Structure 1
Amino acid sequence: MGSSLIGGTSAHAAEVTRTYSASKGFSSIEQGTNQWHYEKLAGSAYLDLIYDKSGNRWAAPSGYPWVSATALHPDQNFDAVRKWIAPGKGVISISGSVQKGSPEGDGVVVSIRKDEVKLWSETLTNTKAVTPSGVSRVAVEAGTEISFVVNKRGSSNHDHTMWEPDIAYTGAAGSTAGAAPSKSSASAANKNSSVVSVLDYGAKADDTIDDYPAFVAAIDAAKSMDKPVYVPAGNYVLSDILTIDGVKVQGAGKFLTTLTSTNPKRGSIDLKGTGTELSNLKHVYQTTVARGNGANEKNSITVRGAQNFKIENVYVSKSSTAGIMITYGSKNGIVSGNTLESTGADGIHMTGGSSYITVENNVVRKAGDDTIAVVSYIDSDKAAAHHIVIRKNDVGYGSKARGIAVVGGTDITISNNAIQETSMAGVYIAVEASYNTRNVDRVTVSNNVIDHTGLAKPSNHPNVLVYASQGIVDNVVFNQNTIKNGAHRGIGVWGSGSIKNITFNKNILIHRIGEATTFAKGNIKLNQNEGF
């Protein structure tokens, strides 16, 4: 057995005693050499790490967690695991102390497990060495897994943990010491499947146990196998932000599969990478908190710089801030067929220079701010949001601000939407000094029905409002819209900023209260409109 074995035969001729040393038996060649495996753990799913030559350790592609010959380090989502697999029937005794490698950080939780049974556990908050107890004369069978696990507490910073155990094994002389397969490796269950099910990684529907680790493990495994993640019908509990990076996650249907976030300040589902998709499920917050500074961690879904992404047939119910936030230069995305209600901020919000996004066939009800908005800030955005298509959406229904808004942005198309019952303007095209937003250029608004909007007093917004308190609004065209039942006025073009070319072609304005139009600024061009 090479350098990992110490000692010789026992007093019983039919048995031998071997000692397997974690440090001396460490391999840089393959998993299972000298009975040792190097893994990461989320929930009940153990996943193999990959050997990193530069660090002389087994690690995840991101660098964490990792396992070296003498130490382990977890990350925020995965425990670090050194695992030994019994070569045969016998008994083992475990020796060797464990200690944190640094006095900094909030500590680690270390444990020894026999298969799914915890033999010993301790929380380490300083660098004092601790020797595990109750781990002598432990009965094992061929394939029994003994796992040495290092788990973060609150943060994984400074969680370098020194641990190089020895296992004294006494068993039958004929027992093989070759590598045994890991019984608990969930990835094996998915090799012949077209999807990766969260159930295979420890998730359980319709209970109160946190499924977050199982989802993290399933997403990680699916990415390595280039397969979608499947979430069967039922309710699943998530305790933290769930990141989906370059993976497709699909439920059984938006009324069948529910993901419930229990932390109102950190409940977002974050989409990153290329080709990421989220579909056919419902996301709810168990409770919400005040919108406050609008932190993205409190959104329902946050698209963080993803490309070629899709959000389809998702039901968003409640959020502390936005329903779907698309930001950090996200590009080439489709947001389609979703239902959003009772969000703390905008229903669907596109900002951060995001571009080439299509938002279509969505329903947005009772948004805490605008139902669908494109916003571009001078202070924080490197470029304006651009090439956005907003079409065939049904929005409003008691939403607290505007219907569809462009507050800074270029090359925006708003078409064939139904907009009703909003507190402020149904369609709002603007540059705002209060938020220091960028200019507006090339916006086309066509074939929409804007019905009974601008309800709030004393704002008294018209159904349609073009506004500039700074900067420039130019090349805005309204074609063949039906603008009706305005609570206060029909159409307004206002503001102290620069408003240039605004064109109205073949629009119908009917049944408003108050003035038909208040054109205070701009080069207004009117062609074959009715009612104004």
Structure 2
Amino acid sequence: MLTAAVTGAVDKAHAQAQVQTYKASTSYSPEASQGQWSYQKRSGQVFSDLTYNAVNKRWDYNGSYPWVSSNAGHPGKDFDAVRKWVAPANGKISIRGTVRKGDDLGDGVTAIIQKDEETLWSSTIKNKSEVTPTGVSNIEVQQGTAVYFIINRVSSINNDHTVWDPDISFTPAEGSADDIIAHEPKKAIADTSASTTVNVLSCGAAADDNKDDYPAFAACLDQAKQLGKSLYVPQGTFHLGRILTLDGVSLKGAGSALTTLVSTDPEKGSIDIKGSGVHLTNLKHEYQSVVPRGSGANEKNSITVRGANDFLIDDIYVDKASTAGILVQGQASNGTISNSRVEATNADGIHITDGSSYITVSNNIVKAAGDDTIAVVSYLQDGPPVHHVTIKDNDTGYNSKARGIAVVGGNHIEIQGNSVKDTYMAGIYIAVEGSYNTANVNHVHIDSNLIDHTGTAKPQNHPNALVYASQGVIDNVTFSNNTFQNAAHRGLGVWGDGDIRNIFYTKNTLINSIGANTTFSKGIIHLAQNIGF
């Protein structure tokens, strides 16, 4: 049957001469495939359906961009806005209707008309001046041919509202009138054969071709989320031109020595983790190039956990970052960072902050960090301090440019079985810092660690382990069963003008030949069964 949008009755005996008109705004409907029209988003060459938003009376993606209305559209950061028409039978089409921006602001959009995978016309639309598509008359189509009207952002999506109400004249081929029916849209990609994963190759990513695979990753992440699956990235090198966000979707590679994701923008290359239950595993993430740390924007991290819970980062090799290697923030909770390697960052190797809690950092290697190797930091302005963090069995240092393992504000922190070697500042650093306005410290246990040749920078002359407060309160810090050796300038220190209370040293070994064994100038120091001091 013809839909209501078809103008005029079809004379089956003269179908080849009967022209039907399909106007986008006339056939616009909250139901998909009304009058041959449907509404989608695109990443690369992967198309998927939008959802109708009854409040805003438009088709959109999770209540935001991209969206398509009766006569307009707006692209999103990751996806183009797409209006799709499907040919009801064999024949020819001619396309009319102008395109213009909703205002003269922004950097413009790219408007595209595409037949299946063939681009018929494209133009960059800069302002409210109307542009008429050319070369889109008398186009042959087959029954089921898809014609896409695509609005693609140039760079920013600001002011990308685009007015476009296409009008299609369809002339059926002789004998095809009986076939004029509404058809289900073609599937953009085949279903993955794996029961639990979507393979990024199925969305158009290609290993080792030095091209931007971000659109394919974005499309497959969207598909994986809809299917309740994870994204699999096979062996090879894939390039990402933008921040990759894992919002409730896990991503797994073939192994940190086999799968490599290369971020090509040194200012915006983070892999962001959001939502619940995300696992990022078995791959290498590197920056093609880095820029100076500067303001320390989190978009320049290698991995940023943004308030996620029940997350896992495992078997990840972080190679270079303009700021931190792995940063956990936004009161993230119940997470594990394990069996990974982080090196050559411009800021901390692994940094936990912003009220995050119940985080385990274990069996990682952190080398040549631009700041601390592993740090817990609680700023007063961020609200509740970081708490219940376990840092165990990590191998860190190797000419890192600040402290080894640091707790600068926070409570209930366990530091167990780690090796810290060759850091510019103290190997273990427990502090409240006035210059950064950090929270108090309480209940920190440092047990069975090896601290070797740390505090190498002058004139700071840090000891192997330092407790320091320039403001606030430090209390209930216990050092037990640790070995401190080969200090660059001195052994152990407790300093500062803040309120330092109970500091316990029990069964530790100090092997020291340079400078003072201890510089305990503050605090209530409890010593029991130590060797060397």
User: TM-score over 0.5 for the alignment?
Assistant: yes
Secondary structure of 2:225's counterpart equals: helix
Aligned 1:57-76 pairs, distance under 5 A: 57-76=58-77
1:77 corresponds to which residue?
78
Q: Is the 8 A contact 2:66 2:74 kept in 1?
A: yes
1:389 corresponds to which residue?
390
Query: 1:176 Cα shift?
Result: 2.6
CA distance in 2, matches of 1:6, 1:74: 31
Secondary structure of 1:23's counterpart equals: helix
Distance verdict in 2 for CA 1:43–1:512, change over 3 Å:
farther
Q: Is the 8 A contact 1:251 1:279 kept in 2?
A: yes
Which digits, 9 at most, give the CA deviation of each residue in 1:153-186, with x for residues without a partner?
2221222211111111222334533333433523
Query: 1:89 Cα shift?
Result: 2.0
2:210 corresponds to which residue?
208
1:318 corresponds to which residue?
320
1:197 corresponds to which residue?
199
CA distance in 1, matches of 2:326, 2:519: 34
The letter of the residue matching 1:256 is L
Q: Is the 8 A contact 1:314 1:337 kept in 2?
A: yes
Q: Is the 8 A contact 1:110 1:121 kept in 2?
A: yes
> Does 2:129 match 1:157?
no
Query: 1:191 Cα shift?
Result: 7.8
1:407 corresponds to which residue?
408
1:275 corresponds to which residue?
277
Distance verdict in 2 for CA 1:48–1:191, change over 3 Å:
farther
Aligned 1:229-308 pairs, distance under 5 A: 229-308=231-310
CA distance in 2, matches of 1:334, 1:413: 14
CA distance in 2, matches of 1:394, 1:179: 63
Q: Is the 8 A contact 1:442 1:476 kept in 2?
A: yes
Which digits, 9 at most, give the CA deviation of each residue in 1:427-448, with x for residues without a partner?
0001111212111111000011
1:22 equivalent among 21, 24, 27: 24
2:443 corresponds to which residue?
442
TM norm structure 1: 0.96
Secondary structure of 2:52's counterpart equals: strand
The letter of the residue matching 1:176 is D
1:331 corresponds to which residue?
333
Q: Is the 8 A contact 2:396 2:404 kept in 1?
A: yes
Secondary structure of 2:491's counterpart equals: strand
Query: 1:45 Cα shift?
Result: 0.8
CA distance in 2, matches of 1:409, 1:265: 30
CA distance in 2, matches of 1:315, 1:274: 22
CA distance in 1, matches of 2:421, 2:472: 29
Q: Is the 8 A contact 1:100 1:161 kept in 2?
A: yes
Which digits, 9 at most, give the CA deviation of each residue in 1:123-167, with x for residues without a partner?
111111111110001111222211000111222122221111111
CA distance in 1, matches of 2:60, 2:191: 22
Which digits, 9 at most, give the CA deviation of each residue in 1:197-252, with x for residues without a partner?
11111211111221111111111111111100111111111111111111101111
2:525 corresponds to which residue?
524
Please, which runs of 5 or more residues in structure 2 have no aligned partner? none
Which digits, 9 at most, give the CA deviation of each residue in 1:16-59, with x for residues without a partner?
43222212222222x22322121000111101011111122211
1:86 corresponds to which residue?
87
CA distance in 2, matches of 1:159, 1:339: 41
Q: Is the 8 A contact 1:102 1:126 kept in 2?
A: yes
Which digits, 9 at most, give the CA deviation of each residue in 1:316-359, with x for residues without a partner?
00001000011111111111111001000100001111111111
2:373 equivalent among 360, 371, 374: 371
Q: Is the 8 A contact 1:196 1:222 kept in 2?
A: yes
- Report runs of 4+ in structure 1 exceeding 6 Å deviation: none
> Does 2:478 match 1:477?
yes
Q: Is the 8 A contact 2:53 2:63 kept in 1?
A: no
Q: Is the 8 A contact 1:51 1:58 kept in 2?
A: yes
The letter of the residue matching 1:234 is G
Larger mean CA deviation between 119-128 and 9-18 belongs to 9-18
Q: Is the 8 A contact 1:113 1:120 kept in 2?
A: yes
Distance verdict in 2 for CA 1:202–1:151, change over 3 Å:
same
Query: 1:7 Cα shift?
Result: 4.1
Secondary structure of 2:26's counterpart equals: coil
CA distance in 1, matches of 2:318, 2:335: 18
1:52 corresponds to which residue?
53
Q: Is the 8 A contact 2:463 2:487 kept in 1?
A: yes
Identical pairs, percent: 54
Please, which runs of 5 or more residues in structure 1 have no aligned partner? none
1:221 corresponds to which residue?
223
2:14 corresponds to which residue?
13
Which digits, 9 at most, give the CA deviation of each residue in 1:366-388, with x for residues without a partner?
0011000001112x311111111
TM norm structure 2: 0.96
CA distance in 1, matches of 2:83, 2:192: 23
CA distance in 1, matches of 2:50, 2:446: 52
CA distance in 2, matches of 1:473, 1:289: 36
